Structure 1
Amino acid sequence: MEITRSFLLHSSCSELPIRTPFRHSQVAASSFSIPITPRTHIRKPLAASCSASDGGDSSSAAKVSVADLSSAVKNKAMDITPELKGTSIFLVGMKSSMKTSLGKLLANALRYYYFDSDSLVEEAAGGESAAKSLRVADINGFRESETEVLKQLSSMGRLVVCAGDGAVQSSTNLALLRYGISIWIDVPVDLVASGMVEDQSQLPALNLSASASYQEVLTHLSTSYEEARGGYETADATVSVEELACQLGYDDLGDVTTENMALEVLKEIEKLTRVKKMMEAAARPF
């Protein structure tokens, strides 16, 4: 299966460098056999949750303007670009409007190319409907398509990829993510469910009718989350909407912007590149 046609949307994509693994740790094939205790998705009020976890005062922080945040994101991206050296970024986590918007913003700030792995799988299968049919009729063939897409994406640099759940549900795919930096974008399941109920266009992809209730969507997403959570947790770093809201002193998760998340992701990437640089320096012979 080829995805070259998608890459040709940008004429310069043919010049993207071939990548070597960002880190060399091995993924244990048995990592998915570890029992995961389901956790409830009914959250405590955010202010109470923040005060319990970090003692922060949720009412004290003033919100930074979007213009200032956009400038901060661009400046941070410029700061880390030399050390990043074209390493691709893979965003894992539940499919959501936040994750998609974040991926596009990061790609723009880093001057990278943006791709959604699920969209590429659908395109290779002949469209969304054909991909759904393939998944039902031949799940192994569908998983092979996901792996082939990841294999091609991971061989290139200067990409921001919103990775689908298939990317974290096999040791082979997790190993491919090692060719870049993986970040778990942790958006609360109930927030994702609310967004999908509002934007009903995403429901058919979950095999749910456009009239599905919030509770039906939440139940479906909660099951999917628990199945993929073990894979999410193998990411190089995690950026949580809920934790970031606490840090910023926001009372409402909806106040966390894409720019807030992008800045936090870039900070995590900066930490990872520094650690890698230190390890490389330590490994050099005297």
Structure 2
Amino acid sequence: MEINVIHFHPTRNPNFSSSFFNFHGLRTFPISSSFSHKPYNFPSTKSTIPPPISPTFPTRISSRANQLPGARTSPVEHEPSFALKNKAIDISYELKGTSIFLVGVNGTMKTNLGKLLADVLRYYYFDSDGLVEQAAGGESAVRAFKENDEEGFRNSETEVLKQLSSMGRLVVCAGNGAVQSATNLAFLRYGISIWIDVPLDMLAKETMECRDQLPSTLAISTSDSFTEELAKLANLYEEMRGGYATADATVSLQKVASKLGYDSMEMVTTEEMAIEALNEIEKLTRVKKMMEAAARPF
């Protein structure tokens, strides 16, 4: 069955170049009507997406410790701090609706940070891997898709990024496919990309705890130890590090913890990471403004 990965009408500004430092802003986009590019074929006959896909409006999350490892999004609403909201307001004008792409090894901190940034900036939140999974018909279907048709799977990742990059006012948690090809990296240049760098041992511990918390009927059948899980993440990191490093900025959990004088990196909150991310975005917008001023004729 032939389906559209996402059904959005793109509103790319014709004055917007492929580099962040030359952007002139992106407009707010409507969440309806079909995307004009040719859809990809997915192998499962049950693969359907309800048109149109609505954006995810972020649930407010608890900002204090226990974000890592093994933390979950809190169902209790937590109002972002005054400092965080003020920082978001300060940079919103210069940001001009430019989308933000978060890259790095997937984990709770990256996901929660994306949702919180979307909340304070009044953006829409998307997970690119989640869109591919939804299009393929679920987690098991996308796993089979990847194993049976690697090229088709990579094409679907590219199509998702292509459509997301044509829009404004998004925070996107990008999967590893976003940094695995020059084409996908080029799509990230339509926004601001930030590498969310979390220590691998914390991510491995989180993965193990998540696995242990699954009901026995849903538990993943694996005998991987912490050491084996850490080795897998290390291999993945080495493979992806070059792509991660092309991001416009890096927000390191370790550096934030050191900057704040914390004894443990687990003390760093999502809000503190969000403030650091907004500081990096502010630096980029300031540099862009200076470059535009320098390019003006006297």
Determine if the TM-score, normalized by the shorter chain, exceeds 0.5. yes
Deviation, 1:212, is 2.7
Tell whether 2:19 aligns with 1:23: yes
| Greater mean deviation of Cα atoms: 275-284 or 247-256 | 275-284
Amino acid at match of 2:109: M
1:189-243 deviation per Cα after TM superposition (whole angstroms, max 9, x unaligned): 111001111111899xxxx735432112111111111100000000000000001
- TM-score computed with the length of structure 2 as normaliser: 0.74
Measured at CA, do residues 153 and 240 of structure 1 come closer, stay the same or move farther in structure 2, by a change above 3 Å? same
1:47-77 deviation per Cα after TM superposition (whole angstroms, max 9, x unaligned): xxxxxxxxxxxxxxxxx98989722111100
Identical columns (%)? 64
Unaligned 5+ runs, structure 2: 22-62, 66-77, 215-219
Partner of 1:98: 109
Q: Which of 117, 122, 132 lines up with 2:133 in the alignment?
A: 122
Q: What is the distance in 1 between the residues matched to 2:18 and 2:257?
A: 30
Deviation, 1:245, is 0.6
Partner of 2:232: 220
Partner of 1:38: none
Q: How does 1:51-200 map to 2 (within 5 A)?
A: 70-200=81-211
Measured at CA, do residues 75 and 24 of structure 1 come closer, stay the same or move farther in structure 2, by a change above 3 Å? closer
Q: What is the distance in 2 between the residues matched to 1:77 and 1:229?
A: 29
Deviation, 1:17, is 3.9
Deviation, 1:125, is 1.3
- TM-score computed with the length of structure 1 as normaliser: 0.77
Deviation, 1:273, is 0.5
Equivalent residues of 2:19, 2:189 under 8 A apart? yes
Q: Which of 250, 262, 271 lines up with 1:250 in the alignment?
A: 262
Equivalent residues of 1:22, 1:181 under 8 A apart? no
Measured at CA, do residues 201 and 79 of structure 1 come closer, stay the same or move farther in structure 2, by a change above 3 Å? farther
Partner of 2:243: 231
Measured at CA, do residues 222 and 83 of structure 1 come closer, stay the same or move farther in structure 2, by a change above 3 Å? same
> Could you say what secondary structure the match of 1:199 adopts?
helix
Q: What is the distance in 2 between the residues matched to 1:69 and 1:101?
A: 13
> Could you say what secondary structure the match of 1:4 adopts?
coil
Q: What is the distance in 2 between the residues matched to 1:201 and 1:156?
A: 39
Measured at CA, do residues 148 and 201 of structure 1 come closer, stay the same or move farther in structure 2, by a change above 3 Å? farther
Partner of 1:273: 285
Q: Which structure is higher in RCO with an 8 Å CA cutoff and minimum separation 6?
A: 1
> Could you say what secondary structure the match of 2:97 adopts?
coil
Q: Output the aligned Cα RMSD.
A: 2.4
Unaligned 5+ runs, structure 1: 8-13, 26-63
Amino acid at match of 1:256: V
Q: What is the distance in 1 between the residues matched to 2:5 and 2:115?
A: 19
Measured at CA, do residues 146 and 92 of structure 1 come closer, stay the same or move farther in structure 2, by a change above 3 Å? same
